[in-house]
Amino acid sequence: MDVNRRNDIINAFIKLCSRKGLDNTTMQDVAKEVGISVGTIYLEFRNKDELIEAFEKNLAQQFETGMTRIINQSMPAPQLLHDLLVGNIETMNRQIRENQAIKEFMMQDFVKHINKNIKVRRLEMESRWTEKIKLILKQGVEEGSFIIDDIPCTARMLFFAFGAFAGPIALEREYDEVIQDAESMFALLLRAIEPK
């Protein structure tokens, strides 16, 4: 396995898919973009599904890096929670509208290619998000910004509350409207966990 060549193939696939979508990007397109033969791609990836999986891992890593960057900032818990929840909704909604491949994932038009692993991936995403939310909630309780009896349950509820802003429903509405509603949801939920 040639790591550089593998990365070049993945990057070309991601670039092409963002413009053309997953379904419309072929192995021939990727080979042409990288300047290699299709056969060389198959030395690194058995099929297009493996490239799609690499795309998903890359996307998940980008969001994980963004969440970690937010968590590591030195600011009060309410601001951290806002940046994690609303900030990521802003980022996701922008990417959904600008990147055809991400839009396909979110609209579930491409589930036929990833169906066997979709439940596992969703559970992994839920776990990553709720772990980050729990860290912020714990900080908020410690600093007196939040009053929460069950941090794990509250983290899951926050995850589910904001999940609606990153799926097919979000694409049916204007970007500004989605973000305004996410801000309103955040304000409502924040009032529920702030000291009275």
Report d(CA 106, CA 115) in Å as an integer. 13
pLDDT digit string (tens) for 55-82?
888 887 888 888 889 989 999 999 999 9
Average pLDDT over residues 33-59: 89
Domains of the chain by range and CATH? 1-46 (1.10.10.60), 49-193 (1.10.357.10)
Q: How confident is the model at residue 196 (pLDDT cuts 50, 70, 90)?
A: confident
pLDDT digit string (tens) for 88-143?
888 888 888 888 777 776 665 444 444 555 566 677 778 888 999 999 999 999 99
- Are 148 and 193 in contact by the 8 Å Cβ rule? The answer is yes
Q: Which two tokens stand for residue 129?
A: 């998000």
Mean pLDDT of the chain, nearest integer:
86
What is the reported pLDDT for 135? 96
Q: What percent of the chain has pLDDT over 90?
A: 49
Nearest to 52 by CA among 106, 120, 113: 113
What pTM was estimated for this model as a whole?
0.81
